[in-house]
């Protein structure tokens, strides 16, 4: 395969063997045609893992403002007030925390969602509090 590359000598045409053109995780498929190696796609594997986790949970719609009003605008992890005017990306901004994490089998049920600061939620991670 020939291509022009501005990174390797400007207008010089480079000839590359086909073995260097395919990604390193690409292997031989059916009938000698190139195909992906089984299970090589990390994104697909993560997606399958996520779907398996979500298949065993219950999901309900919730609104962060309703959850905040129910919890009294107080972070359930540190006990301080949560400013709902801050962005969701601000460390002290509001965040919906799963009491039992989704990765541990918790669902999106109203009684499993609590209000917390984003900083507190990230610090806690996927652990179940005693």
List the chain domain ranges.
Answer: 2-36, 60-124
pLDDT > 70: percent of the chain:
63
With bands split at pLDDT 50, 70 and 90, how would you rate the model's confidence at 81? Answer: very high
Quick check: 20 pLDDT over 70? no
Contact call for residues 77 and 96 (beta carbons, < 8 A): no
With bands split at pLDDT 50, 70 and 90, how would you rate the model's confidence at 117? Answer: very high
To the nearest whole number, what is the mean pLDDT of the chain? 76
Residue with tokens 């400007």: 10
Distances (CA, A) of 124 to 4, 15, 21: 50, 52, 44
In 3D space, the residue among 77, 60, 73 whose CA is nearest the CA of residue 111 turns out to be 60
pLDDT score of 82: 95
Cα Rg of the chain, angstroms: 24
Q: Which two tokens stand for residue 60?
A: 């309900």
pLDDT score of 49: 73
Quick check: 87 pLDDT over 80? yes
At 33-64, the pLDDT tens digits run 555 555 457 777 777 777 776 676 667 788 89
For residues 82-100, average pLDDT: 92
């Amino acid at each position: 395969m020939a291509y022009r590359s501005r990174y390797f000598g400007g207008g010089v045409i480079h000839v590359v063997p086909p073995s260097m053109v395919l990604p390193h995780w690409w292997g031989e498929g059916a009938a000698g045609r190139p195909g992906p190696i089984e299970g090589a796609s990390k994104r697909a594997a993560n997606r399958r893992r996520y779907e398996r986790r979500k298949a065993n949970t219950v999901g309900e719609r919730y609104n962060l403002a309703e959850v905040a009003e129910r919890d009294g605008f107080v972070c359930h992890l540190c006990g301080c007030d949560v400013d709902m005017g801050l962005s969701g990306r601000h460390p002290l901004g509001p965040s919906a925390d799963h009491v039992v994490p989704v990765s541990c089998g918790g669902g999106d049920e109203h009684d499993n969602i609590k209000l917390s600061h984003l900083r507190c939620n990230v610090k806690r991670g996927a652990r179940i509090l005693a």
